[in-house]
Amino acid sequence: MTAVELRLLGGFGLEVDGRRIEMTPAAQRLLAFVALTPRGAERSYTAFQLWPEQSEERAKANLRSTLWRLSKAPADLIVATKTHLRLCPWVWLDVRHGLAELAAAGSEAIVAAALPFQALDSDLLPDWYDDWLTIERERLRQLRLGSLEEAARSATAAGQFGQAVQLALATVSIDPLRESGHRLAIEAHLANGNRFDARRQYDTYARLLRTLAAATPSRQLTRLVEPFAEPATLVSVAPHAVVEPAAA
């Protein structure tokens, strides 16, 4: 069977039997829109989303024309009925199948496999600015963060501290102000006996919060480094604060 791979993380890419397939921007957007609608996309709604500035008839005509161009690809990509469009079931999709495979593989495989790890560390179609991508982009961002954080926890529990730090720092690169990623890195450093690396990670996060959000780390995070940090380096927070504005 023909191998078809569609990648949307980090940018659009379509390969058929290992050969990259070039497409017009309209065809790329139609394929991506349908791929991100696993239960199927209604045709009229698809036309409206992809050509919002066109009249209804013009948008539908654009959809028919783009579907015809897609039908000339070296493999079938979309199942089209009179009312709905659906991605062909044999198309491997990174945001669905790829992330599921990585989640099942575990932390060691995530770190060892450079391309899948890069996919986890990449945004959904980052160079596209279509409104219909907003919700899906955030959903996948949270999914990627959750997968990386869970893998980091598993790596720490298994004594794979270097991998745990890499995974935790990958979440930090996606969302620098997310405390859970910094916490996982600190916990992995402490579990490996690297107190000063843990303190450095805490200080980095504290500076980021102070600079970008005028806030401080939670008391729970501060307690992790209190036993070995110099008092002057710790951020003073209220006992039950999670993130508070810094003092003026």
Distance (Å, whole) CA 181 – CA 186: 9
Q: Dihedral sign, CA of 135, 140, 146, 148?
A: negative
The 10s digit of each residue's pLDDT in 57-87 is: 999 999 999 999 999 999 999 999 999 999 9
- Range scoring the smallest mean pLDDT among 119-123, 148-152, 160-164, 209-213: 119-123
For the entire predicted model, the pTM comes to: 0.77
Please report which confidence band the pLDDT of residue 147 belongs to, taking 50, 70 and 90 as the band edges.
confident
Q: At what angle do helices 179-191 and 161-174 cross, to 10 degrees?
A: 160
4-92 topology per CATH: Arc Repressor Mutant, subunit A (1.10.10)
Across all residues in the chain, what is the average pLDDT? 87
* 244 pLDDT higher than 80: no
* 8 pLDDT higher than 70: yes
Domain covering 144-233 assigned CATH 1.25.40.10 in the classification? yes
Give the domain ranges of the chain: 4-92, 144-233
Task: Using alpha carbons, select from 22, 8, 10 the residue that is nearest to residue 97.
Answer: 8
